[in-house]
Amino acid sequence: MVFFLQNIINALQWGSFYAMIALGYSMVYSILMLFNFAHGDIFMVGAYIGFGVATGLVTLSATGFIALPGWVILVLTILLSMFLTSFVGMIVERVGYRPLRDAPRASAAITGLMIGIILETGNLALMGARRVSFPPLIESVTYNIGGVFVTNKKILIVVVSLAFMLALHLFVQRTRYGMAMRAMAFDFVVVPLMGVPVNTIARLTFAIGSALAAVAGILFGLAYPVLDPYMGIVFGWKAFVAAILGGRGSIMGATLAGFLLGFIEIFVAMIFPSTLRDLIAYSIILLILVFRPHGFFGEPYSARLRL
Amino acid sequence: MQLSVENLRVSYGRIKALHGIDFHLDKGEIVCIIGANGAGKSTTLRAISRMVPVEPGSRMTYMGQDLLKHPADRVVSRLGISHVPEGRRLFGNLTVLENLQLATFARKDRENIPADIDRVFAIFPRLQERVSQKSGTLSGGEQQMLAIGRAFMSGRKIMLLDEPSMGLAPLLMLSVFKALREINQREGTTILLVEQNARLALQFSSRGYVLENGSLVLQGNSAELLANPDVKKAYLGG
Ligand SMILES: Nc1ncnc2c1ncn2[C@@H]1O[C@H](COP(=O)(O)OP(=O)(O)OP(=O)(O)O)[C@@H](O)[C@H]1O
Ligand SMILES: [Mg+2]
């Protein structure tokens, strides 16, 4: 039982990473009918930007010029990195996707792959091959709750992720920008007839997805401090799986599917040797998809996406 | 002249849909364009709304200023030219109210929006009963009302209507056209109506154009067109 609870906490943590990245995938996919295969690498870039900002603030703090407590640095790192990473997303949209809006979908998909490679190798060129390590920022505390060990970082990761997911949900449901996003997911051809500037909405979608990926990157850096330029690839694929599994246009779906992935992975590893983890976990997910080809909560959309 | 269109040419790839048409709208008029399937009626409206690119040499002005310098969203939000597209194209995943609100996305006069929504409900009381229903589940007639209401919310200097009578029972059709006339008279909204139902369109409008295979072949007073033997033969069933 204790062992079981222990694993639930781990699953929630990994689910948080997957879900936060899956949201960006899912939003872009539902609004622009486009797989942004560079998104995993935006997570990586977000983690590095977070590393840069955090290291800078820690250094500044160490000079004694302005001594900031670790949690203040963490909050500032998250906010600043979200801001900076959102620009990376907007540039990717402007350079890589807007010119290809009317191109065959396959062309848009390979741009994503190319931008991903550019981000990875660009990072390699900039930072060199060495791995960098994320500053700890907050001291690890382990609580023993009836034999279950929980670290403050794990709690932080899950709580912060859930807070951002809730904020995104409210944004999409309650604001007119969110409403425009939902309308675009249904039928983007006629959205301009409502006076909505679609390019602005597309840019905003990329910005939000990238900012969330940055949060995931920083939280990941807190838990697993070693960063490398290729860390986004596997995360990207898994988040992509979660986004599709969740169903097109569904924020709730992408979130739940992200957590489901976390749970399946952790619980498979609980029973089977860890080398078999992904083999078994993704066979299960393949099976789910066979029985629910539209994912969990695919929103309806107009079949007529043309004039 | 509120809207002037000169030498409007549009192609879809190699298919030429409009071969250089000229027409105009005066403020507060109700004008119709009638024509058979594939004549280019919808294309004409899409060109004004900047939903399809026009070929070089085409000219369109709104109150004397170049309309072609505005992208599609600004034709609505800056010039106030709204468009009820063919097949209504509501956002089926949004509620009735959300569809109306979305159409106000770029409006600067946000304080007037609640009163405008009330006016839509006054014109179409059936929509009010269904404010929080998803628009995808409305009946065909209700969807048409919402499509018109949405256009009303987004801009009402000119309304472009693409076959509003399509799929409506005669009684409902009459009430939709009554509502359109009310909007025209109360707001001074210019209406450009495109219809296959030529009799209805000519009875409702004051002027009309006849479009055939991408060219305007006839124009005039609606009453005259109704009496014209060629129009009678081709569009009014003899
Ligand atoms: N998206 C498109 N791609 C290619 N050709 C098109 C497209 N839309 C329209 N066309 C062609 O352009 C011509 C004019 O079409 P349009 O839709 O304007 O006709 P219409 O007068 O509105 O007809 P209807 O009464 O059937 O709605 C037709 O020959 C049509 O096949
Ligand atoms: Mg048509």
CA of B223 to the centre of ligand 1 (A): 28
pLDDT digits (tens, 9 = 90+) for A49-86: 999 999 999 999 888 888 889 899 999 999 999 999 99
The answer to whether B91 contacts chain A (CB < 8 Å) is yes
pTM over the 0.90 mark: yes
User: In CATH, which of 1.10.3470, 3.30.70, 2.40.128, 3.30.1490 is domain A2-291?
Assistant: 1.10.3470
Binning pLDDT at 50, 70 and 90, where does residue A105 land? confident
A302 neighbourhood in chain B, CB within 8 Å: 89, 92
Q: Report the distance separating Cα A166 and Cα A160, nearest Å.
A: 10
**Tokens 């040797």 sit on residue:** A273
Which residue, A294, A303, A220, A253, is CA-closest to A43? A220
- Asked whether this complex has an ipTM greater than 0.90, the answer is yes
Residues of A within 8 A of B17 (CB-CB) are none
Residue nearest to atom 24 of ligand 1 (CA): B37
- Residue with the smallest CA separation from ligand 1 atom 16 is B40
- SS3 for B43-94 is HHHHHHCCCCCCCCCCEEEECCEEHHHCCHHHHHHCCCEEEECCCCCCCCCC
Q: Which residues of B touch A307 (CB under 8 A)?
A: 46, 51-52
Q: How far is B28 from chain A (nearest CA, A)?
A: 21
What value does the mean pLDDT take over residues A234-257?
A: 91
Distance CA A11, CA A264 (A): 8
In A4-147, which ranges are E strands? 132-133, 142-145
B92 close contact with A: CB closer than 8 A: yes
Mean pLDDT of B47-58: 96
Amino acid at A182: R
Using CA atoms, how far apart are residues B226 and B207, in angstroms rounded to an integer?
Answer: 11
Average pLDDT, whole number, for chain A? 91
How far is A252 from A243, CA to CA, in rounded Å?
A: 10
Give tens-digit pLDDT for B103-135.
999 999 999 999 999 999 999 999 999 999 999
Which residues have CB less than 5 Å away from ligand 2 (the ion)? B 42, 86
**Cβ proximity of B147 and B84 under 8 Å:** yes
State whether residue A252 sits within 8 Å of chain B by CB.
no
A179 closest CB neighbour out of B51, B52, B98? B98
Query: Which domains, from first to last, does chain B contain?
Result: 3-89+156-235 (3.40.50.300)
Whats the size of chain B, residue-wise?
238
pLDDT tens digits, one per residue of A259-294: 999 999 999 998 899 889 889 989 998 999 888 888
Distance CA A36, CA A27 (A): 10
Edge-first strand order for the sheet with B65-66 is B15-25, B3-12, B59-62, B65-66
Q: To test the ligand 1 pocket, which listed residue (B41, B212, B217) has its Cβ within 8 A of the most ligand atoms?
A: B41
pLDDT recorded at residue A304 = 47
Check pocket membership of B12 for ligand 1, CB cut-off 6 A: yes
Taking each helix axis from N to C end, the angle separating A277-291 and A231-246, rounded to the nearest 10 degrees, works out to: 30
Nearest to A194 among B51, B103, B136 (CB): B103
Task: Select from B73, B98, B155 the Cβ nearest to the Cβ of A192.
Answer: B73
List pLDDT tens digits, range A179-236.
999 999 999 899 999 999 999 999 999 999 999 999 999 999 999 999 999 999 999 9
Is B89 exposed, middle or buried (CB count within 10 Å of its CB: 0-12, 13-18, 19+)? buried
User: Residue A148: which H helix or E strand, with range?
Assistant: strand A148-151
Q: Is the pLDDT of residue B173 over 50?
A: yes
Residues 6+ apart with CB under 8 A from B105: A176, A179, A180, A194, A195, A196, B77
Say yes or no: CB of residue B85 within 6 Å of ligand 1: no
Q: Do B94 and A183 lie within an 8 Å CB cutoff?
A: yes
- Which of A180, A189, A304 shows the shortest C-beta gap to B105? A180
CB-CB contact of B148 with B137 (8 Å) = no
Quote the pLDDT of residue A203.
Answer: 97
Element (H, E) at B30: strand B30-35
Average pLDDT over residues A39-45: 97
138-167 of B, contacting A, C-beta below 8 A? 150, 154-155
pLDDT at A301: 61
Cα–chain center distance at A237: 11
Distance of alpha carbon B51 from its chain centroid, rounded? Answer: 14
Distance CA B235, CA B213 (A): 14
Distance CA B35, CA B106 (A): 34
Beta strands B158-162 and B190-195 are parallel
How many angstroms separate the Cα of A119 from the Cα of each of A41, A53, A95? Answer: 7, 18, 13
Local confidence band at B71 (pLDDT 50, 70, 90 cut-offs): very high
